[in-house]
Structure 1
Amino acid sequence: MKFWFLTEPETIGVIIGVFFGIVSRIYMLRTDYRQYPTYPHGKLIHLSLAIIAAGLGAILVPALLNKDYTAVTFLTLAAQQFRDVRNMERQSLEKVDQMELVPRGNAYIEGIAMVFEGRNYLVIFSAFVASFFGIVFAWYWGILAGLLSLIVAKIFQSGKNLGQIADIREAQVRVEGPDLYVDSVYIMNVGLPSNQKIIQKHGMGLMVTPKNQNVKVTIANLGQRQAILHNLSTILGVYRDSGEPALIPMTKLNLETGELAVFILPQIADTETAKQALRRVPVLENAVRMPTESAARSKGGK
């Protein structure tokens, strides 16, 4: 018995496109230390959307080849749907964030929501590319193009980490009377002797040294700094409970050098793990600033 779809290039092209679209989403979807998306229901939602996105991307090719240009208008509906997904993720994370001892912050939440929207477009891209090559050329070219699209999706899956733009080192935590310092950077005033003892016992300090002028402005962003504190607290734990403002993790800038001092009270007092966790903190897209690219700072800029 012959496989009937082998004689229908459009059908097999669409199947290949849908397959690689779904595979690309599975490839990009994982539940990590942040426990988001949740398992299994959060993953089920995103995989269901992946099937829809893959179908749109794959079917778009035969529609264009058959000169059915009105089918392209369905992409606008898909874009609206994925924007609704972004809003859904934002609202969900904002509600969950209210229960965190060290919240993510609005900038981090917006970045996560933006990523989930963007990855649906990568699914459409993978499905479209695999379907196009499978229909126009041959099914094996569709598979090859689908594999290459997975590489592209992996490249655009995530941006830079903090370790790529800054150097991380351990810093000394000092309590001088009521004043708390990380190296020479003043952090805050700690009035209660009991809190001073807790900080002396459990406090840990890290210093983030920017590699260039642009990074100085990026790590000064309050949203980026909150993301640093949230990730460290999630991985290492945090030695505090609600209603204890004196024991909250904090970041402060060294205004002369642009370095960022990080003070945390971890449950797991492992400096190497803390430095590695800090290196892996994502650089938020909406926190990136590039003042050196400004025409005002270039020679002869007006």
Structure 2
Amino acid sequence: MIAHMLSQKETVAVFVGLFFGIASRLYLLRTDYRQYPTYPHGKIIHVSLGVIAAGLGSVAVPALLDKNYTAVTFLTVAAQQFRDVRNMERQSLMQVDQMELVPRGVSYIEGIAMVFEGRNYLVIFTSMMASLFTLLFAWYWGAVAGLAAVGVSIYFKTGKNMTHIADIRISEVRLDGPNLYVGDIYIMNVGLESDRELIARQGVGLLAVPKNPDARVTLANLGQRQAILHDISTVLGVYRDTGEPALMPMAKLHLDSGTLGIFVLPQVKDAQKAAAALKRVPVLESAIRMPTESAAGPHKEA
């Protein structure tokens, strides 16, 4: 039986591609401090979609080599289905975001939805590579190609975080009458004495100093700022309840230097942990700007 299966290279190619495609999706799928995807049902949905993607990728190669070009049609249909997955994730997260004390923001939600769509394409790529090399050479070369493709998927798993674009520093939270400052960056006006006392006791201040002109523009993006506030509040909690706008975490720019001042009210006041959480915040793809690449950008000769 085993010898018969090994003689059927197409069958072996499909199974090898399916195995590495599913393995790739399982490795890429995890629930971290952001608690998304949820467990268990969110994971069940995405594992099921990963199995479908792996099956499509592993079957497409033998079909195309047999000149069955309708396989391209199935891949096109799959692409449409994964775009629907992106829309589903976007809509779900936007509904949930209305219940957050510190929302993710539209840019962060769009980034998460894009990731879930893109990872299904990485699964298809992995299963296709494993299936192709199994058909052209042997099953063990398919395994090598599958492992290499999983490595590529891992490389594209995550993008940059805040440490790539900014130097993170802890700063003093200062109240000058009703005016709240982080370092020398003005944050907001706090009217109630009780709120000022709570901020003085519980507030933590951080500075994100941009490393270059591109990073300066990225930090100015409102979506990136909201992602920073949400992630820090998710990791450390937030010391506020509904109907308390004076206790909302905020991030404001120093307009001359481009430094971002970040004010948060964590459940446990620990500036070191807050700085560590800030370093892990992802840089949103929709927030990245590179004005230095333009002919009219900074540091370009006229």
- Check whether TM > 0.5: yes
Which of 4-13 and 125-134 deviates more? 4-13
Distance in 1 of aligned mates of 2:12 and 2:139: 7
Q: What is the DSSP-based 3-state SS (H/G/I as helix, E as strand, rest coil) of the residue aligned with 1:238?
A: coil
Distance in 1 of aligned mates of 2:2 and 2:234: 55
2:242 paired residue number: 242
1:73 paired residue number: 73
Distance in 2 of aligned mates of 1:85 and 1:195: 43
Q: What is the DSSP-based 3-state SS (H/G/I as helix, E as strand, rest coil) of the residue aligned with 2:103?
A: coil
Distance in 2 of aligned mates of 1:274 and 1:300: 40
Distance in 1 of aligned mates of 2:210 and 2:168: 9
1:165 paired residue number: 165
Q: What is the DSSP-based 3-state SS (H/G/I as helix, E as strand, rest coil) of the residue aligned with 1:69?
A: coil
Counterpart code for 1:103: P
Distance in 1 of aligned mates of 2:3 and 2:222: 59
Q: What is the DSSP-based 3-state SS (H/G/I as helix, E as strand, rest coil) of the residue aligned with 2:241?
A: coil
Asked whether the equivalents of residues 162 and 278 of structure 2 are also in contact (C-alpha less than 8 Å), the reply is yes
Counterpart code for 2:175: V
1:177 paired residue number: 177
Rate the CA distance shift 1:190–1:117 in 2: closer, same or farther, 3 A. Answer: same
2:121 paired residue number: 121
CA shift digits 1:12-70 (9 cap, x unpaired) = 01100011000000000000111100001000000000111001111111011101112
Q: CA RMSD in A?
A: 1.0
Displacement of 1:299: 4.6
2:197 paired residue number: 197
1:93 paired residue number: 93
Q: What is the DSSP-based 3-state SS (H/G/I as helix, E as strand, rest coil) of the residue aligned with 2:104?
A: coil
Is residue 40 from structure 1 mapped to residue 40 from structure 2 by the alignment? yes
Which of 292-301 and 54-63 deviates more? 292-301
Rate the CA distance shift 1:117–1:191 in 2: closer, same or farther, 3 A. Answer: same
2:21 paired residue number: 21
Displacement of 1:127: 0.3
2:150 paired residue number: 150
Distance in 2 of aligned mates of 1:170 and 1:69: 59
Asked whether the equivalents of residues 292 and 300 of structure 2 are also in contact (C-alpha less than 8 Å), the reply is no
2:295 paired residue number: 295
CA shift digits 1:200-244 (9 cap, x unpaired) = 000000000010000000010000000000000000000000000
Distance in 1 of aligned mates of 2:245 and 2:81: 41
Distance in 2 of aligned mates of 1:230 and 1:2: 54
Displacement of 1:11: 0.6
Q: What is the DSSP-based 3-state SS (H/G/I as helix, E as strand, rest coil) of the residue aligned with 2:108?
A: helix
Displacement of 1:4: 2.4
CA shift digits 1:164-222 (9 cap, x unpaired) = 21100100000111010000001000000000000000000000001000000001000
* TM-score of the two chains, using structure 1 as the length reference: 0.98
Counterpart code for 1:98: Q
1:134 paired residue number: 134
* TM-score of the two chains, using structure 2 as the length reference: 0.98
Counterpart code for 2:266: P
Rate the CA distance shift 1:263–1:299 in 2: closer, same or farther, 3 A. Answer: closer
Counterpart code for 2:223: G
Displacement of 1:151: 0.6
Percent of residue pairs identical: 65
Q: What is the DSSP-based 3-state SS (H/G/I as helix, E as strand, rest coil) of the residue aligned with 1:295?
A: coil
Say how many residue pairs are matched. Answer: 301
Distance in 2 of aligned mates of 1:83 and 1:111: 13
Counterpart code for 2:27: Y
Distance in 2 of aligned mates of 1:222 and 1:33: 22
Counterpart code for 2:80: Q
Distance in 1 of aligned mates of 2:222 and 2:211: 19
Distance in 2 of aligned mates of 1:244 and 1:170: 25
Distance in 1 of aligned mates of 2:38 and 2:214: 35
Q: What is the DSSP-based 3-state SS (H/G/I as helix, E as strand, rest coil) of the residue aligned with 1:186?
A: strand
Distance in 2 of aligned mates of 1:244 and 1:17: 54
1:9 paired residue number: 9
1:212 paired residue number: 212
Structure 2: which 5+ residue stretches go unaligned?
none
Structure 1: which 5+ residue stretches go unaligned?
none
Rate the CA distance shift 1:300–1:185 in 2: closer, same or farther, 3 A. Answer: closer
Q: What is the DSSP-based 3-state SS (H/G/I as helix, E as strand, rest coil) of the residue aligned with 1:296?
A: coil
